[in-house]
A and B are shown apart, each in its own frame.
Chain A
Amino acid sequence: GEDVEQSLFLSVREGDSSVINCTYTDSSSTYLYWYKQEPGAGLQLLTYIFSNMDMKQDQRLTVLLNKKDKHLSLRIADTQTGDSAIYFCAVHTGTASKLTFGTGTRLQVTL
């Protein structure tokens, strides 16, 4: 089955850019998502990219997709303390509504 991996922790200073990485195994993945989870909360959809795209920009967020290497990244420009959270990469494959999630990357923003 699909396997999605992320690094567990990232620490950045306020104002810097953050880059969160994700790798996946299934080359037939169609849509790839980034979700944010704050303590005690559900998952907030941040952005998504279709597999025929290389890049998508949405305000401070930039998603890069390298299909050859099965690598997805999320860049957050001008990172703020409010961006501190766990970020999940999720991959959708096939026709059924099933997402396979990575382990999540905890982003810590320091002053």
Chain B
Amino acid sequence: KAGVTQTPRYLIKTRGQQVTLSCSPISGHRSVSWYQQTPGQGLQFLFEYFSETQRNKGNFPGRFSGRQFSNSRSEMNVSTLELGDSALYLCASSDGLRTDTQYFGPGTRLTVL
């Protein structure tokens, strides 16, 4: 099976812009979770989508949003970018059931100037 793919791998944006990141899960997986990784805060949970519905949400401002499509692909959007949004954004795929083992993609490195 192909692994989790994320596009783009690298992005450079300026403050105030908005950005959309994409994640394609492992075939057959219905859950996609997003995490932000920074040197200062470590790995933090953003939100999770399961069968096109947001099932869980972390403590991030409303500028961070996401959605999931019927083919389980997910997008994450960040509006009005701030310097502190510079991070590695990781997407994880799972079957969303009890064992729920999460498999991560390579991440999108976002730099905000």
Q: How large is the interface on B (under 10, 10 to 19, 20 to 34, 35 or more residues)?
A: 20 to 34
CB–CB A45/B45 < 8 A: no
Distance, CA A103 to CA B41, complexed state (A) = 8
The verdict on B55 contacting chain A, using a C-beta distance below 8 Å, is: yes
Task: For the complex formed, measure the closest distance between the CB of A22 and the CB atoms of chain B, giving whole angstroms.
Answer: 13
Q: How large is the interface on A (under 10, 10 to 19, 20 to 34, 35 or more residues)?
A: 20 to 34
Interface of B with A (CB < 8 Å)?
Answer: 4, 6, 31, 33, 35, 42-43, 45, 48, 50, 55-56, 58, 90, 92, 94, 96, 98-107
Task: For the complex formed, measure the closest distance between the CB of B62 and the CB atoms of chain A, giving whole angstroms.
Answer: 19
CB–CB B104/A43 < 8 A: yes
B45, B103, B104: which contacts A98 (Cβ < 8 A)?
A: B45
Interface of A with B (CB < 8 Å)?
Answer: 31, 33, 35, 41-45, 48, 88, 90, 92, 95-104
Distance, CA A44 to CA B45, complexed state (A) = 17
Q: Is the interface of B mostly helix, strand, loop or mixed?
A: strand
Task: For the complex formed, measure the closest distance between the CB of B29 and the CB atoms of chain A, giving whole angstroms.
Answer: 10
Known A33-B101, A97-B96; judge A42-B107 contact (CB<8 A). yes
What chain B residues lie within 8 Å of A104 (beta carbons)? 42-43
Distance, CA A43 to CA B42, complexed state (A) = 13
What chain B residues lie within 8 Å of A101 (beta carbons)? 35, 42-43
Distance, CA A90 to CA B94, complexed state (A) = 15
CB–CB A88/B43 < 8 A: yes
What chain B residues lie within 8 Å of A48 (beta carbons)? 101
Q: Which residue of A lies closest to B94 (CB)?
A: A97
Known A31-B99, A43-B90; judge A97-B42 contact (CB<8 A). no
CB–CB A31/B101 < 8 A: yes
Task: For the complex formed, measure the closest distance between the CB of B9 and the CB atoms of chain A, giving whole angstroms.
Answer: 10
CB–CB B42/A98 < 8 A: no
B6, B48, B90, B101: which contacts A96 (Cβ < 8 A)?
A: B48
Distance, CA A95 to CA B92, complexed state (A) = 16
Known A101-B42, A103-B42; judge A45-B103 contact (CB<8 A). yes
